Each structure stands twice: as C-alpha cells, then as structure tokens.
Amino acid sequence: MKLTHDDERLTMTAAEAARTRLTLPFVISVPISPLDILAWLRSQSDPRTAYWRDREGKVEIGGVGAAVRLPRRAIGDPWKRLPDDTLVFPSSTVFDSRRQRETIWRDYAVDDVVIPEAMMIRRGNDHACRYCFPVAPDADLTAIRTVISKVVAPEGQPVKPALESYPIRPKSTVSSPSLDGWRERVNKVLYDIAAGRVKKVVLARRVDYEFDHAIDPWMVFLKLREHHPNCYAIYHQVRPETAFLSCTPERLYRRDGRSIEVDALSSTVARGGTSEEDRRLEEELRGDEKQNREHRFVVDGVTARLNPVCRERPRIGGTSVMKLARIQHLWTPINGTLKEAVTDDTLVEALHPTPAVGGTPRQEAMTMIARLEPFDRGLYAAPWGYAGRDEAEYAVAIRSALVADRVVSVFTGAGIVAGSDPDREWRELDDKDILRPLFDKGKHP
C-alpha cells in the first residue's frame, strides 16, 4: 500500500520548523490489515525498537528507529508544536533525574521527546501504520515528497519469532545490597519512621545475574510477556545486546481527553498453591493492619497530588485485590477530570513518584532513597508509556530488568513502614523477581 499525504500540512510543518529552528515530525498514518506487531519488530534490521501493550490488551504499539528527537525543555508542551496525529513513543523519564546516571543507563535518552521512524499501532481490532519524516528548518520539500512516494506500508504477516530454548541458569548472582546490607538499610528507615521524619520509604534491590553466554533480550521478553498476560508489557532496546523490559501491573495514569484514571497499588502477599490457600492469603492481605496502612498512604498521596490538577476532588473507587502470577496486591482506582491547562508533563511531575514506589512524605523519602540505595534506579519504577494530544497512558516500570550482553540486572522494591520486618521484605523482593521463575524450575525462555 502506497502512502499518501496532505501536502498543505507538510507545507505548514515546514513553515513551523523554519520559524522555531527545530526539526519537526511530519507523520502519515494509514490503516492496514491485522499484523503481529512483535513479529514485525523482531524482523527489523534497526536494533532501536520499543514495544508497549497495555494491561487490558486493548492497545499495542511497536516503534522502530528515531526520526525526530526534540529536547523536552526546548519545546514545553509538545502538542503546541506537533501535528494532531503525532504520537510520542516511547515517552519515559528516569526515576530520579537529580541523581547522576550510571553507565548502564547511558544509552537511554529519556530527556528527549522521540518520534520513531515507523510505528505499528493496534487499538482493539484496528491496525494502522505510521511513518515519520523529519522536516528540518531548511527542508527540501521536493526531496521529502519523493521519499514519501517510495514508502510502502507493510502487507502480509512477518514470520513470528519462535520461543527458542536455551539455558537460562546464571553462573553467578550478586545482590545490591546484600541481605546484611538490606537489613541495615531497612532498620535505618524504621529508625527515621519512629522519629517521625518519614511514614514510608520504598527501598529497592538490584540483582545482577551473570551468564556464560550472551542473553537474547527478545527471547526473555517474549517468555515474560507470556507469563504475565494481565500486566503492561514494555520493551525498549537501544543496542542489539541491550534492552530494558518490564512486565508491570501498575498504571501511573491513563488520560482520555480530560478524564484521568490513576492506580493506587501497593501491599503484597504471595499467591497460594491451592485455591483455598490463595483465598486465605487474600483474606490476610485484606485484614492486615500494616498492609492497609501502607495502602492508605498511597491512596491519600495520589489523591492529594491529583487534587490541584483536577476540576473537582478526585473520586476514590473501592479497594479490591489484584491477583498476578506469583503475588497479589491491594488496588484502588482513583478518577478525576483535569483542568484544561494541565499537560502530560505536568501530570508526570505531579504524580511521580507515587508513595507506592517512593514513599511519604515524598521529598524526605526520595532523599533517603538517594542516600541508602547503592545503585541508580534509572528506568526502574519510572513512568513509561505513550502520549498524544487526545490520550496518554503511562505505566510505572516496576517488575523490570535491564539485559546487557551476558548480565541481566533485575530490580525489585518493597515499601517500608512501621512494623516492617527486614527478612520478610527480602522474601517479598524474591517473589517480585521476574527472572527467577524462568530458571527456578528449569524453564527456558
């Protein structure tokens, strides 16, 4: 299928690029027949790929390359400069922008707005492809028109990647912090809680699994996606051997026009081995005073941060239990209607980090995290999603890993409140480790 374009819109984009002295995206979108987006991504020669599937499986996006990269600070609200049908994807930031970025995160340019060269998008049963053409301030429109005329939308099904079987048993494992270091840090937080300086701090652990062979991040991701069908699925590859991936249950927010929905998700127990044991654990979670107190911190914190950006006080839904493959959480949806001037950048700044991944009070908790954690979280627990003029959705990238050649770094966290036990929280970190099930029982991705 040949792509067509609106020449008047191309001319207007060129004029805006000349005025602002920025290279701007000119995006063409056409409907296509159903396409396996993961198979399409896997078939691309450009290693710079990104993938998103929402928690309900309604929206799926795959992007390749980087046609236009705009510094966020230079453009402010992107929808004042970008065309109506432009989609910013992937849209992400780091957990703590104040912290010096470690080497392992250096390839992730999260301070920019990125428009991929090509995107495949599925909404329900509707599929479309989008191609982005960079329009520089001194653009040659004739050359751009020529390039557009030669681009053909994909037709037919790409070959679906097979789930290859290869050993996934690490030869070494290093936890940062160690168990003794974890106990020491948790006790420092408990001391500050008792002193009234903080109410909750979420501490994280990084486990580096080293293998005797290079790990294919695609194979790991495909298997994890299969294991976590009710979670957001996130994949962001920057080099052939380097990719960030997450199968996270937590929504930061979903925006539809001016309507917004936010998750309060926290407090954890394991799943039971039988239906009877599972129900018993759920009842323990619902009735546990400490778990409910921790969850109330998240509900109250999210509501307080939403209140200034909404037209009226946000509406708090009923609390239920979200059941995942290995664990279950308390879950409360919070809804509101945004003020007209509120942008997605404003929302991310207001909501991130929620008390579910940072703590409360926010600044005091963030200061403690920076002081106590021996590593940079990078994209772990950071907002990751997509944004457009009329809609946006961001997940919180917990349950995540960074694959880098022969090392897979897995990130997990636990909320520390009064009554927390360091060893119990350590076991919770093990339950949240997304890689461990792939080799605990001899399974192969």
Reported confidence tier of residue 442, pLDDT bands at 50, 70, 90: very low
> Cα separation of 27 and 13, whole Å?
10
CB-based contacts of 316-323 (< 8 A; 24+ apart in sequence): 319/295, 321/282, 321/285, 321/286, 322/249, 322/265, 323/271, 323/278, 323/282
Residues 189 and 371: their CA atoms lie apart, in Å, by 11
Tokens of residue 291, six digits? 């778990």
The ranges assigned to domains in the chain are 7-13+25-150, 172-440
Contacts of 411 (CB under 8 A, 6+ apart): 204, 205, 206, 377, 380, 381, 398, 400, 401, 402
> What's the predicted TM-score (pTM) here?
0.92
What tens digit of pLDDT does each residue of 220-259 get? 999 899 889 899 999 999 988 899 999 999 999 999 999 9
pLDDT-derived band at 114, boundaries 50, 70, 90: confident
pLDDT at 445 over 50: no
Taking each helix axis as running N to C, give the angle between helix 362-372 and helix 179-194, from 0 to 180 degrees, rounded to the nearest 10.
150
Give the pLDDT score at 394.
96
Q: Which CATH class is domain 172-440?
A: alpha beta
* Model confidence pLDDT, tens digit, residues 338-391: 999 898 889 999 999 999 999 999 999 999 999 999 999 999 999 999 988 889
The H-or-E segment that residue 287 falls in is helix 275-287
Which single residue is written with the structure tokens 């106990």?
A: 183
Closest CA to 326 of 398, 278, 291: 278
Question: Is residue 28 classed as helix, strand or coil in its secondary structure?
Answer: strand
Instruction: Return the H-helix or E-strand segment holding 233.
Output: strand 232-239
Tokens of 174: 């290093």
Mean pLDDT for all residues in the chain: 90
Tell me the pairing of strands 400-404 and 172-176: unpaired
Residues 6+ apart with CB under 8 A from 102: 375, 376, 378
